[in-house]
Structure 1
Amino acid sequence: MPATTFTNLAKEVDIPDDGTISKTLYQDDRLKVVLFGFAAGQELSEHTAAVPAVLQFLDGEATVTLGGDEFVSQPNTFVHMPANLPHSIAAKKPTRMLLLLLKTPK
């Protein structure tokens, strides 16, 4: 199977003027990789993921809530979340975020 390569993730998704966009970059039975683009003021309301996940903020600024904790992401912020942790993301500035869903092999 050939390698999957992206040399500039920021070019893979254009942030909309108003709204949120997502693009699946890779998926197999163990991993799903999704690139998000958030316009300023956009958010993902509180939800959970059934599998562990990694968030990597590429640019912008967003308020991230993980359970009862809240912080502001900046470029190069890394987050590892266990499965079923309630979380939300609210973009303060146009923001790109890479999401890795770590699936359990069957």
Structure 2
Amino acid sequence: MAYRYILDLQQEATIQAKEVVSRLLHREGGVRTRIFAFDAGQELAAHSAAHPAILQVLSGQGRLTLGEAKPGTWVHMPAGLVHAIRAESPLTLLLISLPKE
């Protein structure tokens, strides 16, 4: 059975000046895991997704429409929930998209 081992997720996220960078880390059985890297001041505008998702902030500070975003912040978002995020400092987060409920 194959597996993927990542010792340090931070090494998978490269913050680029004035950009939001997204990278697919894994896809299997309807679950997709992405890492996002935001430069300070960058944002994802309000949107919703067709699938539920789990968001975990790895580093940096930001604001979610749902609340504060700092290392250790964990959010479950049901499908259809409108949300946005703005990085107040360089920010990395993990997003796990789940199969439809």
Q: TM-score range by the shorter chain?
A: over 0.9
SS at match of 1:57: strand
Gap regions ≥5 residues in structure 2: none
Q: CA deviation at 1:30?
A: 2.2
Q: Deviations over 1:24-74 (max 9, x none)?
A: 0001232000000000000000000111100000000110013xxxx2111
1:38 aligns with 2:38: yes
For residues 64 and 75 of structure 1, the distance between their equivalents in structure 2, rounded to whole angstroms, comes to 13
Task: Please report the TM-score for the alignment, with normalisation by the length of structure 1.
Answer: 0.90
1:91 aligns with 2:94: no
- Please tell me whether the aligned partners of residues 31 and 99 of structure 2 are also in contact (alpha carbons under 8 angstroms): yes
Q: For residue 29 of structure 1, what is the aligned residue in structure 2?
A: 29
Displaced runs of 4+ in structure 1, greater than 6 A? none
Identity %: 39
Q: CA deviation at 1:104?
A: 3.6
- Please tell me whether the aligned partners of residues 40 and 88 of structure 2 are also in contact (alpha carbons under 8 angstroms): yes
Q: CA RMSD in A?
A: 1.3
Task: Please report the TM-score for the alignment, with normalisation by the length of structure 2.
Answer: 0.94
Gap regions ≥5 residues in structure 1: none
- Amino acid in structure 2 at the alignment position of 1:42: Q
How many aligned residue pairs are there? 101
- Amino acid in structure 2 at the alignment position of 1:95: L
SS at match of 1:17: coil
